[in-house]
Amino acid sequence: MVTLSKGALAAYAAVALPLAAAALPVHVHIPKFYAGLGLELATVGLLLLVLRLLDAVSDPLLGALADRIPESRGGRRLMIVAAVPLLAAGLWLLFTPPASSSTLALWLAASLMLSYLGLSAASIAHFALGSALSRDYVERTRITAARGIAALVGVLLAAAMPELLVQRYGAAEGLAFFALAFAPLLFVAAAVTVYSGPRPAAEARPRAFNLAAIVQPLRNARFRRLALVFLVNGVAAAVPATLLLFFAADVLQRPDLTPLFLLLYFVAGAAGMPLWVKLAARLGKSRAWLLAMSLSVAAFVWAWFLGAGDAVAFAVVCVMSGLAFGADLALPASLLADVIDDDDGDGRPDGAYFGLWHLLEKLALALAAGIALPALQWLGYQPGTAAGAGSALSAVYALLPCLIKIGAAVLLWRTVREKQYIQGASA
């Protein structure tokens, strides 16, 4: 087994930082920014929904395309090189719209398409590249953990910098400055990954770019089982993310502390990843992930009991559930890399698998919003109205994701019992 050095891991993970940093401002700032320019909020929402769905559908195509490029011509690294200029240009155009309001909708649509295409292509190629870097059961978890830490740093950067720039320079100048500063960061990080990062463990024969290649992962029974666990667990994680602003404002009544809660959660996630890497090597990845799910439920269920003024207690919940979140970043993609070994005979189709994997991530976000928000309305919750401990908002925010997470844990436990994913030291 070849163990990658910390420097090699850092070089591979480098581009994950700006890729993670690019997504957050689009989701957080675009609706308010374009509404302030005169575009109707309903129009912005419709464009975001339609283009996000098209983006998700394109993921399997991009994954199959990543498998088509021979390593001798750059392989997935070439796809990263091709994608980052699209992302940089798309982000710049998004935050420098024309003065004419008549073309705002078209400008937003075109800029979003460019941004989504660049972000998805670079992300899928990067994930697929990481999957091919090692054939070792334990080493793969180190690779995914390094990528996860870099992504968390990017999320923290994106959570702080645009808001600070907007407060200092105003929305138009602040966001334009962020987009301008983002481009060199993206290009430098991509260059580090592409030119200084490690190469795949073995030369893979290019695969055909056709419908069979795109849907091939669905014929893998282990992938179908893992994908179901990943999707259900993703919905459980996305529900609190969708409702955090409401919970902080109307239950805790401390909306000003929302950035602190996010910071504690993500920093704890990064701090917990080395622990999950070690536990995965000792217990097996599935058992370690199952343990993390149990910790997540045990920690997060306490949010249901909290009310106005319980900011310190909720901070503890954020730290403990954040530690468990570290396993979600380090282990599922590593398990997927093991599952791809089933299709190793005709060249590894890492891109096809991770294309579908990215589609599942986006589907989880859509399902979370589609379940949680209508449930709140059905239960009579009105945003801006104080809600105490044990309220409908608390139930949907805390209890619903715990129940969904338990469902994911049961599905994963069945695979552990059947020894579907136990390999290496835990076999």
Domain 1-198 sits in CATH 1.20.1250.20: yes
C-alpha distances in Å from residue 56, one per residue of 191, 208, 225, 247 = 26, 21, 21, 29
CA distance 45 to 26: 12
Closest to 347 in 3D by CA, of 204, 246, 209, 216 = 204
Token pair listed for 76: 């997935």
DSSP conformation class of 205: P
CA distance 113 to 58: 11
Task: Specify the 3-state DSSP secondary structure of 130.
Answer: helix
Closest to 19 in 3D by CA, of 148, 111, 109 = 148
Residues of the chain with CATH 1.20.1250.20: 1-198, 212-420
CA distance 215 to 110: 28
Q: Topology of 212-420 in CATH?
A: Growth Hormone; Chain: A; (1.20.1250)
Closest to 162 in 3D by CA, of 19, 21, 16 = 21
CA distance 296 to 185: 34
Q: How many CA atoms lie within 13 A of 44 on its CB side?
A: 18
- Percentages helix, strand, coil for the chain (3-state, rounded to 5) are 85, 0, 15
Residue type, position 267, single letter: V
Q: Quick check: 22 and 175 in contact, CB under 8 A?
A: no
Buried b / exposed e over 367-378, threshold 16 CB at 10 Å, is bbbebbbebbee
CA distance 319 to 338: 30
**Cβ-count burial of 235 within 10 angstroms (0-12 exposed, 13-18 middle, 19+ buried)?**
buried
Ordered per-residue pLDDT tens for the chain, 427 residues: 567 888 999 999 999 999 988 887 776 677 778 877 888 766 777 787 788 778 878 888 888 887 777 776 777 899 999 999 999 999 999 999 887 777 888 999 999 899 989 999 999 999 888 888 877 777 888 888 888 889 888 988 887 787 778 778 887 888 888 889 999 999 999 999 999 988 876 555 555 555 666 777 888 888 889 999 999 999 999 888 878 878 888 888 888 888 788 889 988 988 888 899 899 888 888 999 999 999 999 999 999 998 888 999 999 999 999 999 989 988 898 888 888 877 665 566 777 888 888 888 888 877 887 788 788 878 887 776 767 667 888 898 999 999 999 999 999 988 776 554 444 433 3
Q: Quick check: 316 and 138 in contact, CB under 8 A?
A: no
Radius of gyration of the chain (CA): 21
CA distance 228 to 242: 21
Token pair listed for 8: 């090699």
CA distance 334 to 331: 5
State residue 421's pLDDT score. Answer: 47
The CA-based angle 184-185-188, given to 5 degrees, is: 80
Token pair listed for 53: 């769905």
The CA-based angle 281-126-90, given to 5 degrees, is: 145
Task: Specify the 3-state DSSP secondary structure of 345.
Answer: helix
C-alpha distances in Å from residue 189, one per residue of 24, 136, 184, 185, 201 = 18, 26, 8, 6, 22
C-alpha distances in Å from residue 427, one per residue of 151, 269, 282, 424 = 31, 27, 10, 6
